[in-house]
Structure 1
Amino acid sequence: MLEGAKSMGAKTATIASAGAVVGIGNLFSSLIHSMAQNSSLAKELFGYAILGIALTKAIASFASMMAFFISFVF
């Protein structure tokens, strides 16, 4: 029973990686649309996009770390 719970927990934590990929795709899509509408703000928008990518990657890294902890430590 414990092995099944560990497996389910690790799989659930891995789903967050897919969410991060979708989030980054949405971020780049919004960036391209925003730059097309107002090209004078391109530098500022790009800075915000980099910040968004960093935060999204941090969430994905945390989820991957939790999946490994659940699988191998507990």
Structure 2
Amino acid sequence: MKLVVVQFSIIFLILTSSLFVFSTADSSCGGKCNMRCSKASQHDLCIKDCNICCQKCKGCVPSGTYGNKDQCPCYRDIKNSKGGPKCP
């Protein structure tokens, strides 16, 4: 019985620690993308695309609300289905 409790505890700790890592990554992107998209006319679309780009680029989002894409080459180089820039 003690072995089952120990195994359950270990599995629980592993799962909660992995969720913590994912949640901190998302919150990092969320804050950066909120800043990036603060002046966008299509705010919801900007946030959606920015979060996709941020996650693909391991948290890199250019500073400011426009431009500065050379700060994050990965972010700059992601293209949409038509070949244009995907990331706001």
Q: TM-score range by the shorter chain?
A: 0.3 to 0.5
Higher-Rg member (1/2): 2
Q: Which has the higher helix share?
A: 1
Ranked by relative contact order (alpha carbons within 8 Å, sequence separation 6 or more), the top structure is 1
